[in-house]
Structure 1
Amino acid sequence: MEAPTVDHELFWISGSPYAWRVQLALGYKGVPYASRRMDSARQENRSPAFIELNPRGKVPVLKTGNVALYESVAIIAFLDRAHPAVPLFGQTVKEHGHIWQRVSEFENYTRDMLDVEIVRPLLRGYAKDDPGAMRASAARVYDALGWMEQALSIAPYLAGNDITAADIVALPNIQMLRRVAVRPQAIEMALGLETLDAHLPALGAWLSRMEAMRGYDAAYPPHWRI
């Protein structure tokens, strides 16, 4: 049996939620690709060769032939047009608009709340500089995720009955939040985020469904397995 044709190269860093999104999309769609894992400790994403692909020096980058695409949501949209058999942006105009609405809601109103105010301080070691501010941010997390809990109380996925780009965009950032929520610093500061699934049961059930999706295990950040 012949090996599938590989048309894409994906440049990524383990633990980048934005690269993880694209890996999930590729895996869920069953699209083969050449994996180009970058070592951020060696600043490989700042090398002249990589800067030629993305002047911003960030992952992910998807290289297809002579074209290099960056920005995770743009890459997922490209993949959906290039490989439409497993649609991530719907099959009708109405579905398409609704999915983009959900993607935009997460990107504009939820992502930075999680990433900038909680995940980065805990990962980079400055969370304890202002525990009061961290606790205030942690309290706001539940408000920021409220629209997701409501949507998932009505349907199994963020935009309806099927996995879409909205779910794939949101999942890595939520998983990053869950990972840092159980760190000793987070527990010591009583952020209360380690019980996220219990406080938001519909979101917790969604996370379980997403962890069972096709391609999830292959895309899981390898350094998290250590």
Structure 2
Amino acid sequence: MQLYHHPLSMNSNKVRLALEEKNVDYTAHRVNPLKARNLDPEFFRQNPSGTLPVLKNGSIVLCESLPILQYIDRINEPLGDNKVQHDRVEEWVKKIDEWDAKPFTLSHIPDRMLRFFSRFKRRVVIARMAKNPDLANKYHTKLNSMHAMEEKLKDTEALEANKEQLLNMLDDAEDQLSTTEYMAGFEFTIADAAMIPVLARIELLKLNEEYLEPRPRLLEYWERMKSRASYKKVIGGYSSQLKQLKLVLPSACNVGVRNVFKRF
């Protein structure tokens, strides 16, 4: 089993948490979206959306976190076994998947940094279109989606609706945790694997005071989840802004050099 991922990708982290919790043997391949490696033709041919993660198992190729999580959970016994409500697991995984974390994240990144990487990625897409005519239409679709996200970040109503969706989801989680220890019962499930990266992103952006502290049960749950071995392996090593900076800074230097020499 091959997993193409990146530590900064929330959806990648959902999948890796599930794989670690189920003790599934897999080989991890890091694809750096900051360097636009997700736009390289070799990767783009297997996933024209250019998103992470991608899971390959023999002839099976899955490119979205929701079907990947569901696929992983069908390997042997599902996480939680008979100690959880499996319809509630499915409900939570879909609810979390329906919330688009990208505008929330990007709206909290400094504009200068956002423009730096966005401009570079647009140049990469245009260069790839010219060099790979068989993928031109797919690269053009990707370019349009990038423009659409840039417009969405200017739309205050859309951003507010995205925030409200997150708040409602966190409120629902607070209610859920009043009766269960985990998101769908009394054992860890893929619903927890999906929720943990959301909480990790909130903490990374230093938004605990607004989003987590008013919800004491969710905050206590979050502290418990951080003690799990899967969290420590998948997210813990990149949980602080300093550690994230160590990921971002080399990529920024690489992008800067490639911009200067026009190596897209």
Q: TM-score scaled to structure 1, two decimals?
A: 0.76
Preserved contact between residue 54 and residue 64 of structure 2 (Cα < 8 Å): yes
How many angstroms apart in 1 are the aligned matches of 2:71 and 2:161?
A: 38
How many angstroms apart in 2 are the aligned matches of 1:136 and 1:9?
A: 36
Q: Which amino acid in structure 2 is aligned with residue 123 of structure 1?
A: I
Match of 2:45 in 1: 52
- Following superposition, the deviation at residue 91 of structure 1 comes to 4.0
Q: How does 1:119-198 map to 2 (within 5 A)?
A: 119-123=105-109, 125=111, 141-181=166-206, 193-198=208-213
Instruction: Spell out, residue by residue over 1:161-211, the C-alpha distance to the aligned partner (whole angstroms, 9 max, x if none).
Output: 1111111111112211221135xxxxxxxxxx5354321110011111211
Structure-2 change in CA distance of 1:38 and 1:174 (3 Å): same
Q: Which has the larger radius of gyration?
A: 2
How many angstroms apart in 2 are the aligned matches of 1:136 and 1:22?
A: 26
From 32, 39, 63, the equivalent of 2:32 is 39
**CA-atom RMSD, angstroms?**
3.0
Aligned length: 202
Instruction: Spell out, residue by residue over 1:32-59, the C-alpha distance to the aligned partner (whole angstroms, 9 max, x if none).
Output: 2111001223211111111222121111
How many angstroms apart in 1 are the aligned matches of 2:195 and 2:50?
A: 23
Instruction: Spell out, residue by residue over 1:108-141, the C-alpha distance to the aligned partner (whole angstroms, 9 max, x if none).
Output: 3xx33xx255322012538x98999978976775
User: In the alignment, does 2:96 pair up with 1:106?
Assistant: yes
Q: Which runs of 5+ in 2 are unaligned?
A: 115-152, 247-264
Match of 2:228 in 1: 213
Q: Which runs of 5+ in 1 are unaligned?
A: 1-7, 183-192
Instruction: Spell out, residue by residue over 1:198-226, the C-alpha distance to the aligned partner (whole angstroms, 9 max, x if none).
Output: 21110011111211223111111755434
Structure-2 change in CA distance of 1:26 and 1:176 (3 Å): same
Q: TM-score scaled to structure 2, two decimals?
A: 0.66
Q: How does 1:62-101 map to 2 (within 5 A)?
A: 62-84=55-77, 87-88=78-79, 90-91=81-82, 95-101=85-91
More deviation, 37-46/146-155: 37-46
- Following superposition, the deviation at residue 31 of structure 1 comes to 1.4
Structure-2 change in CA distance of 1:161 and 1:46 (3 Å): same
- Following superposition, the deviation at residue 14 of structure 1 comes to 1.8
How many angstroms apart in 2 are the aligned matches of 1:73 and 1:132?
A: 27
Preserved contact between residue 61 and residue 71 of structure 1 (Cα < 8 Å): yes
How many angstroms apart in 1 are the aligned matches of 2:170 and 2:158?
A: 19
Preserved contact between residue 152 and residue 203 of structure 1 (Cα < 8 Å): yes
